[in-house]
């Protein structure tokens, strides 16, 4: 998959590569790692690989964000953070139990993805396809709701009574708490399931495709699910 923002991402990486070359660093794009809003580049220092850089583009804000966490060089991480001061802004902590959910619609296939974090550590992930043909017309929304259902089932299986769920589509919370009227069988079943689940859910809406690591992680899982 090539991003619709390929030219902008390439230009940003070329500019970054040129600006760090005097320090002995270089970047090389992984051509097989394109996503809609992001791409990965291998980072080198004096010809030796030192990790991967993930760069995200947020079209609504027209801004770029670097994810430097896998880079094994503090100097380069510092240089890149200097170029993107917002990279650390609003960093989310994960004390307790958290889940990130997402859905995807690719070539008439619906996928779901979820990642569960406990005290900053990924402890569970899952992805798959939505098989019920009755739900396919809801496209990625069906995947998002399926992901929430899977999170609740996981909580019940392992005896958890509360969790924070991070989501990027407003309906996830609005149908669950009754702010939106559930008019379709899918949303009606979802709203009833959440209402009767017995799990205390704290809802946290995040903006999609802005470089949030775990949101992008769940998005990638959902895309895998749609490809099954």
Residue with tokens 């995040």: 206
Measured between alpha carbons, how far is residue 21 from residues 16, 40, 84, 191 in Å? 9, 18, 17, 54
pLDDT tens digits for 77-126? 888 864 443 334 445 667 789 999 999 998 888 999 999 998 778 889 99
- Provide the pLDDT for residue 162: 94
Rounded to an integer, the average pLDDT of 32-59 is 85
- Provide the pLDDT for residue 31: 86
Name the pTM for this structure: 0.63
Domains and CATH numbers, the chain: 6-88 (no CATH), 97-226 (3.30.420.10)
Burial class (CB in 10 A: 0-12, 13-18, 19+), 80: buried
pLDDT tens digits for 159-181? 999 999 999 889 999 999 999 99
Is the pLDDT at 189 greater than 60? The verdict is yes
Instruction: Give the residue, 101 or 58, on which the prediction is more confident.
Output: 101
- Provide the pLDDT for residue 85: 37
């Amino acid at each position: 998959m090539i991003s619709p923002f390929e030219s902008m991402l390439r230009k940003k990486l070329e500019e970054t590569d040129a600006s760090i070359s005097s320090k002995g660093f270089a970047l090389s794009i992984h051509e097989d790692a394109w996503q809609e809003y992001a791409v990965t580049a291998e980072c080198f220092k004096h010809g030796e690989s030192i990790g991967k850089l993930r760069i995200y583009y947020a079209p609504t804000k027209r801004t770029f964000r670097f994810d430097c966490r896998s880079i094994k060089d503090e100097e380069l991480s510092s240089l890149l953070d200097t170029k993107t001061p917002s990279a650390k802004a609003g960093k989310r902590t994960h004390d307790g139990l958290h889940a990130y959910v997402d859905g995807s619609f690719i070539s008439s296939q619906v996928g779901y993805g979820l990642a569960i974090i406990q005290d900053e550590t990924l402890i569970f992930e899952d992805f798959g396809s939505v098989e019920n043909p009755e739900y396919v017309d809801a496209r990625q929304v069906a995947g998002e709701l399926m992901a929430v259902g899977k999170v609740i089932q996981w909580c019940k299986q392992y005896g958890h009574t509360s969790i924070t769920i991070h989501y990027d589509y407003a309906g996830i919370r609005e149908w669950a708490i009754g702010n939106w009227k559930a008019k379709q069988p899918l949303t009606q079943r979802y709203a009833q399931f959440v209402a009767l689940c017995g799990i205390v859910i704290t809802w946290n809406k995040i903006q999609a495709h802005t470089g949030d690591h775990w949101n992008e992680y769940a998005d990638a899982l959902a895309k895998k699910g749609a490809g099954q």
